[in-house]
Structure 1
Amino acid sequence: MTMPDELRLLPWAGPDGKPCFLSTDDSGGYMSRLADNIESVQLGTATALLDQAIDMLAADTAPDDMRLLAKNLTGALRDTLRVATSRGHRLESRSTGHRPR
């Protein structure tokens, strides 16, 4: 039986916004690689949005554009926190000797 602390939190949510998890011993498997790639895209998007925010805050930006930026930054922050949580759990499981999630 797979224990909950052995699951990998995936970088996307399920249909109802609930977290999705992966149970595997194969960190090089298809789903693990897919999750790694999506995490990379999400972190790249967050970086690009941060750069955009810095530029927009220095300029005279329209309120509608700032609202759109805030919406996009909120989504990027949610994704980044999910990536950080997932990676933190995997680091924790390695240090305690549990199987990787």
Structure 2
Amino acid sequence: MAPGDGNSPLSRRADEVEALQLSMGAQLLAHACALLDDRKASAGELRFLATRLTEALRDALRVAESRGERLPSYDDGDTDADGHPEPTEAAESS
């Protein structure tokens, strides 16, 4: 199996890490909603929350960028005989 085929041990591990990061982000978002509804939340708690949310957003953006790099690139108007978009040469060689 080639490292870039999406089924290598490294690719599977990356997928697991990404899934964990996104799951943790979703849990943090639920906690954030609850904390923001609490009018007694201290400035320190809100600052801590903002720091954790920043980390979760950074992870989510990294996941999105990584997954986006794995998608084929399409040029406008390039379609196959059935009208489906065809990847550009750059996407085919990656």
Q: TM-score range by the shorter chain?
A: 0.7 to 0.9
TM-score norm. by structure 1 comes to 0.68
The structure number with the bigger radius of gyration is 2
Q: Across the two proteins, how many residue pairs are aligned to each other?
A: 79
Distance 2:41 2:70 in 1: 41
Two-structure CA RMSD over aligned residues (Å): 2.3
Percent of pairs with identical residues: 39
1:33-52 to 2 correspondence within 5 Å? 33-52=12-31
Q: Which has the higher contact order (CA 8 A, sep 6+)?
A: 1
Unaligned runs of 5+ in 1: 1-22
Q: Secondary structure at the match of 2:72?
A: helix
* One-letter amino acid of the counterpart of residue 49, structure 1: L
Unaligned runs of 5+ in 2: 75-85
User: What is the CA-CA distance between 1:87 and the residue it aligns to?
Assistant: 1.1
8 A contact 1:25–1:100 mirrored in 2: no
User: What is the CA-CA distance between 1:93 and the residue it aligns to?
Assistant: 4.5
